[in-house]
Amino acid sequence: MRFYGRSEENATKEKDRNLTIRDAFAALHRTRIKDNRPIGKLLGDAVMSSIQTLLMIGGFIILFSVINKLLFHLHITVFLAEFLEIMLVMLGMAESLSLPFISGLFEITLGSQMTSQIQEATLMHQAVITSFILAFSGFSVQAQVASILAQTDIRFQPFFFARIIHGIFSAFYAFILWKPIYVRFFEGGQPSNALPVMEYLTSEGSRLAAAHNLLTTAGPLITIVSLLIYVWLLGNRILKEK
């Protein structure tokens, strides 16, 4: 995407001057000076904006999960899977990966989980399908990006096609690098110099593990408290406007 829009002329661009980090901080400072909102107002708007974004993301995830389930019960997913099975067989993959792949096109978490539960598929085929799903990001994430870009002058179409290309390349690289990397170094067992990624979170007695367990336990409570703060701030704003 680095070459996208490169040929388009920007009237406000200064061709003979390269922007630096100092210029960025100067622009940030000028914007802060022009903003006359008090610190309390800034904090309140920041909290409301973050909670609104959180609700939007959760809403899109629920929406596309429901759509995915409706398509399954209406047998539309099964109908589409029949055509996808032909392509998977031509690629030497298990036919049972068709349903997880279609589910992953809507919601990446659900599709990745379903792909990992297919016993008939090999680990390599699961990695290839999951790589495409994660790179494409699913229609749920696409809708989230589209809703954010709708308020700007950035086009959504190049991003969407870039996700498709990213998914194809991710699946291709996962396929060609499987044998030279995974089979060669990891299939025979864990290397002696390997360090588990979650070692510090699973080892008992460490402070990081204790903090991780605390966040895992208090996560739902933090979310509920944040939503209550958002409702309180929104209610106060509505009352002041009246």
pLDDT tens track, the chain, 242 positions: 566 666 665 544 554 457 788 888 888 888 878 888 787 777 878 888 888 888 888 889 889 989 999 998 999 988 999 899 999 888 888 889 999 999 999 989 889 999 999 988 888 999 999 999 999 999 999 999 998 888 888 888 888 999 999 999 999 999 999 888 877 776 666 555 555 666 656 666 677 778 878 888 888 888 888 888 878 877 887 887 76
Q: Are residues 230 and 176 in the same domain?
A: no
- The three-state secondary structure class of 65 is helix
Q: Is residue 139 part of a domain?
A: yes
State the Cα–Cα distance between residues 223 and 225, nearest whole angstrom.
5
State the Cα–Cα distance between residues 101 and 115, nearest whole angstrom.
7
Q: Has this prediction a pTM greater than 0.75?
A: no
* Contact partners, residue 93, CB within 8 Å, separation at least 6: 121, 125, 128, 129
Residue 234: burial class (beta carbons within 10 Å; 0-12, 13-18, 19+): middle
State the Cα–Cα distance between residues 175 and 188, nearest whole angstrom.
19
Q: Are residues 161 and 219 in the same domain?
A: no
Q: Are residues 180 and 146 in the same domain?
A: yes
Q: Are residues 166 and 228 in the same domain?
A: no
The range of the structural domain enclosing residue 80 comes to 37-187
Q: Is residue 19 part of a domain?
A: no
Q: Are residues 93 and 211 in the same domain?
A: no
Q: Are residues 52 and 73 in the same domain?
A: yes
Query: Per the structure, how many domains does the chain have?
Result: 2
**Please, how many CA atoms are within 13 Å of residue 180, restricted to the half-sphere of its CB?**
5
